[in-house]
Each structure stands twice: as C-alpha cells, then as structure tokens.
Amino acid sequence: MKVQIAGPGCPRCQSTETAVREALAELNLDAEISKVTDYKDMAQLGVRLTPAVVIDGKIALSGRVPTTSEARELLQKK
C-alpha cells in the first residue's frame, strides 16, 4: 500500500500524517508513506484542498485533518 500525504508541510499536514501513522500501527499494516509538498505534484494527483490523503493513487480525503479513527476507516477500505 502506498500512502501519500499532500500539503505544504503545515501543522495540519503534520497532524494528518500522525493520524495516518497511528492508524497504520493500530491495524498492523505495512505501507510506504511519502509527503507531497510540491504544488505541481499535488495538482497531478488531483489534490485541490490540503491536507489530503492519497491511497494507492486515489484521493481518500482532502481539505481536513482526519482523526485516527477516520484514518483507520480509510485504510481499511483499501
């Protein structure tokens, strides 16, 4: 599984990454996590609002910070 956190690196983006990492740990899932901070790269992914969580190339959430519980649900759907 490939998870990308898209955003400029602001505190909201950091909180999103933390929630995703916590959810992955709770689910005992292994995933490649990367940050996408370049606006051109975000646009190529289709991200219009940040922070965004992109799972295996598909936008799972954008424009808000997920709770760990929400991140867990997003990851379980994949």
- Residues that are catalytic: 10, 13
Closest Cα to residue 44, out of 1, 4, 2, 12?
Answer: 4
Calpha distance 38→36 (Å, rounded) = 6
The DSSP 8-state label assigned to residue 46 in this structure reads T
